[in-house]
A and B are shown apart, each in its own frame.
Chain A
Amino acid sequence: EVQLVESGGGLVQPGRSLKLSCAASGFTYSNYVMAWVRQAPTKGLEWVASISTGGGNTYYRDSVKGRFTISRDNAKNTLYLQIDSLRSEDTATYYCAKHGGYYFDYWGQGVMVTVSS
């Protein structure tokens, strides 16, 4: 059974940093592109970033470029999202998602990040 379990969220002050983790199991993690998708409270879904199987290629939405860093550890079956210079507009539930192909076939349960002073 595929499982994606996010952790690392919480309440953070503006300008601070946070690192989210996503522990993957139930599939050959190193064979799949992975992604982060977020959802602000009461809002729609927003793709944040994706990373290739080996980690050598990363893709970001413009609004997070330079502040967010997606990475992966294939030995630990874990995906990460380093978030720096947090802004109030980064407040959201962050989902880890597995690319099945050109779609997301599995999602984690989500982790909440709240940016507030």
Chain B
Amino acid sequence: DIQMTQSPASLSASLEEIVTITCKASQGIDDYLSWYQQKPGKSPQLLIYDATSLADGVPSRFSGSRSGTQYSLKISRPQVDDSGIYYCLQSYSTPLTFGSGTKLEIK
């Protein structure tokens, strides 16, 4: 199984900061990597797919990148509404595996 090591587990940031969340894959996944935001009591919402493509309706302050087998989600000038839990997902091979999640608080 491909392991997705996500960090940090939690993060508090201000409105002026740049937030970066990373997921490192245990092997190559050919950019079959997506990012999701989940708010309390709600279902996850797609943010980024294929490592760098922005999903429909997602603000441009969200972006994705890759360096080797490490994938990153960046939020530039986050808004209070960006608070929530963020997950990465690899879909290169089954079992599909999620990262452990990052709880983000925007102050």
Chain A interface residues (CB < 8 Å from chain B) = 35, 44-47, 50, 59, 61-62, 95, 100-110
Contact = CB atoms under 8 A, between A and B. Distances in A.
Contacts of A106: 46
B29 to A, nearest CB: 9
Contacts, number: 61
A47 B32 contact: no
Main DSSP-derived SS at the B contact region: loop
B95 interface: yes
Contact of A104 (B34, B95, B99): B34
Interface residues of B, number: 23
Given A47-B97, A61-B94, A107-B45, 16 more contacts: A35-B96, A44-B99, A44-B100, A45-B89, A47-B89, A47-B96, A47-B98, A59-B95, A61-B95, A95-B43, A95-B44, A100-B49, A102-B32, A102-B50, A103-B50, A110-B43
Given A50-B94, A50-B96, A105 B44 contact: no
A45 B87 contact: yes
B16 to A, nearest CB: 29
